[in-house]
Amino acid sequence: MKLTFAGAAEMVTGSCFHVEAGGRQVLVDCGMFQGLPEVEERNYEPFPFEPRDIDWVLLSHAHLDHLGLIPRLVREGFRGKIASTVPTKEIARIMLMDAAKVQEEEENGPLYTADDATVALDRFQLTGEYGETLPLGNGMEAVFHDAGHILGAAFVELRVEGKTLVFSGDLGNRGKPLVEDPSYPPKADVVVLESTYGDRVHRPAEESVEALHQALVETFEAGGNVIIPSFALERTQEVLYILFKLWRQGELPRCRIFLDSPLATAATKIFDKFADRFPEPARKLFRKKRDPFDFELLEYTLTRQASKRIPVDDGRCIIIAGSGMCTGGRVLHHLRRQLPQPNSSVVFVGFQAVGTLGREISEGALKVEVMGSIVPVRCRIWKIDGLSAHADQPILTDWALNADPGQVYLVHGEEAGLATLAKKLSDHGVASRIPRWQESVSV
């Protein structure tokens, strides 16, 4: 059996793992590389396999760095089947169509078009629930397990030739309001483990909610606005849930909340549809007809005209907009206007990769380039990592140890996270390696 690391090797993006065994070829994810220009150039590199030879794509979840190259894969010959959970299939539709729209606006030519994305979506031919065994042919089987990352996210158990391989996808934090805690993995011969926060310990969720509350209170007392760059999936919905709870408890200062992201709005509708999959406290709210995605302070700005009409001059606005790492989207317009304002705040509630504008701002840059303009950073910057959808080092370590693996390959991490988690696993007697991009290993 051969395993090739076609993505997410020594970096936090582009997840793609190629397994050849039992006369079958399977990909676990086929994600887009995001971040620095030299990283994004990999999206145009030849795949280290023939797309026409791939029988299955097993999709862990619907973030672009896990599915964003599927339309290109199909355009270059893939005629196999894609398997995912039911919510992932629905979310994939809005994510791929939005990505195609962005691609079509690229000056250097698109990776793929909306037509390519539409054809790719037709390859989603098998959906599974957590714990259900999916036959892939020639004795190969797959099982999706709850990864606790975003709605529908899974880690993938692959059984072939008498061995069990487990691909973590993105593992979630614990105690999240809208997704269950990640399940533990089965006994595995090989674990491919994400390492996004391999060198960090998240603050408790309660402290993170209090930090967000403090940011709102102090900013509004100063007469400013709060900008929250947020990922369209899970993070936006969780922030809305927290704001709704603060409002219901009478702890949210007088303000107006704007969700300024058509993609996040579409994703929120899907979350609404699958509310029966939330943890019990959130399900209870919906049973009582209290919708945290539809309350009197919240407004959805779907058009650019509506976005421009957000009354920021009056202060006391919370604007949630993408992209989460400030690499594009409407958040750039708000940053250009609010970064120079000493009474305003930018609140980061998610991971900021190296090379992104979000990383620059969060690490204390005094001025940054936004949409071609040099903008001074005078507003207050808050970093709240306890709201992360990714597991931290203790969760990753505990999860991996439960698989009792013969070998761990660490992926989807930056240098510090990878090295620190490798040492932590070694301290527990678990062998791990950090593979290189497109490296192949025998299993």
Tell me the mean pLDDT in the region 268-280. 94
Distance CA(88)–CA(306), nearest Å, equals: 30
- Identify residue 323 by its one-letter amino acid code: S
* 21 sits in which H/E element: strand 17-21
Burial class, 136, CB count within 10 angstroms (exposed 0-12 / middle 13-18 / buried 19+)? buried
Burial class, 163, CB count within 10 angstroms (exposed 0-12 / middle 13-18 / buried 19+)? middle
Residue 50, pLDDT score:
98
Residue with tokens 């709870």: 245
Q: Are strands 432-433 and 407-411 parallel, antiparallel or unpaired?
A: parallel
DSSP state of 387: G
Class of domain 205-387: alpha beta
Residue 14, pLDDT score:
97
Residue 61, pLDDT score:
98
Tell me the mean pLDDT in the region 150-156. 97
What pTM does this model have? 0.93
Tell me the mean pLDDT in the region 422-432. 96
Tell me the mean pLDDT in the region 427-440. 97
Asked whether residue 259 carries a pLDDT value surpassing 90, the answer given is yes
Asked whether residue 119 carries a pLDDT value surpassing 80, the answer given is yes
Q: Domain-by-domain residue ranges, the chain?
A: 2-200+389-442, 205-387
Asked whether residue 107 carries a pLDDT value surpassing 80, the answer given is no
Distance CA(302)–CA(260), nearest Å, equals: 7
**CA 337 → CA 298, 359, 371, distances in Å?**
21, 18, 11
Residue 311, pLDDT score:
94
And the tokens for 37?
A: 């220009």
Per DSSP, the residues of 224-282 read --EEEE--TTTHHHHHHHHHHHHHHTT-SPS-EEEE--HHHHHHHHHHHHTGGGS-HHH
DSSP H helices, 253-378, are 262-273, 280-287, 304-308, 331-338, 357-362
Residue 437, pLDDT score:
97
Q: What is the pLDDT of residues 57-82, one digit of tens each?
A: 999 999 999 999 999 999 999 999 99
Residue 67, pLDDT score:
98
Residue 379, pLDDT score:
98
Q: What is the pLDDT of residues 14-51, one digit of tens each?
A: 999 999 998 999 999 999 998 888 999 999 999 999 99
- Identify residue 264 by its one-letter amino acid code: A
Q: Are strands 256-259 and 317-321 parallel, antiparallel or unpaired?
A: parallel
Q: What percent of the chain has pLDDT over 70?
A: 100
Asked whether residue 387 carries a pLDDT value surpassing 90, the answer given is no
Going by pLDDT thresholds of 50, 70 and 90, the confidence category of residue 183 is: very high
Tell me the mean pLDDT in the region 155-159. 98
Distance CA(33)–CA(14), nearest Å, equals: 4
- 2-200+389-442 in CATH: which number? 3.60.15.10
Asked whether residue 108 carries a pLDDT value surpassing 80, the answer given is no
Q: What is the pLDDT of residues 301-340, one digit of tens each?
A: 999 999 999 999 999 999 999 999 999 899 999 999 999 9
Q: What percent of the chain has pLDDT over 90?
A: 91
Using DSSP's 3-state secondary structure scheme, residue 435 falls into coil
Q: What is the pLDDT of residues 169-182, one digit of tens each?
A: 999 999 999 999 99
109: CB partners within 8 A, 6+ apart: none
